[in-house]
Amino acid sequence: MNGAMLIETYKTGLERYSLIQLRHQSAPEVWSLGQMLDHLILASLDYFDKVELCAAEGEEQWLGKTEAGERLFELGGFPPVKIRLPDGPENNPSNSESKEDLLRGLDQVLQKMKAWEGRIDSINPRRKVKHDGFGWLNAREWFELNDMHLRHHLRQKKELEQKAGCANP
């Protein structure tokens, strides 16, 4: 499933949720569907900012990925495990966004995805931006990381839908 299809999957789910389901948290440390979507939007927009930095004129970077980054790209995605982000405001997504705001955010991600899709292979692969966990990634890798991240959260989406009492589509 490519990035555009993934965004459409998230949008379809979002359109079905009531506001109560969207904001439901089964436990204080468990995200709601709305928080997960807010996280996906913010992360995707950040990844596309990194693509843009790679596309900008600058020095070439000869350093590569970390061992974790190499493994991630060899697998073509995140392993099927839950990942706990460190505490902090950047890792505490909003649970007050409206459905309309989240739909607009997903549309913005889709627009950026489509805008970069046709240009990604023309960006010098030696222009890279560092990811804290995965090392130095080029524009193509940041673009692919976005798809991997969107796919990774599909499992969480299903689990959160069940906890929020969403009917299966």
Banded model confidence at residue 115, pLDDT cuts 50, 70, 90: very high
pLDDT per position as a tens digit, 1-45: 888 999 999 999 999 999 999 999 999 889 999 999 999 999 999
What's the pTM value of the predicted model, to 2 decimals? 0.93
Q: Give the percent of the chain with pLDDT over 90.
A: 82
CATH number, domain at 7?
1.20.120.450
Banded model confidence at residue 141, pLDDT cuts 50, 70, 90: very high
Domain holding 92, by residue range, is 3-164
Task: With beta carbons less than 8 A apart as the criterion, state whether 142 and 47 touch.
Answer: yes
Q: Is 104 helix (H, G, I), strand (E, B) or coil?
A: helix
Query: Is 169 inside any structural domain?
Result: no
Sign of CA dihedral 123, 128, 129, 134: positive
Longest dimension (CA), the chain: 51
Task: State how many domains the chain has.
Answer: 1
Nearest to 120 by CA among 112, 129, 109, 131: 112
Alpha-carbon distances of 155 from 52, 123, 128, rounded to whole Å: 29, 32, 30
Is the pLDDT assigned to residue 134 strictly greater than 80? yes
Query: Is 60 inside any structural domain?
Result: yes
Q: Is 136 helix (H, G, I), strand (E, B) or coil?
A: strand
| Alpha-carbon 20 to chain mean position | 23
Query: Is 103 inside any structural domain?
Result: yes
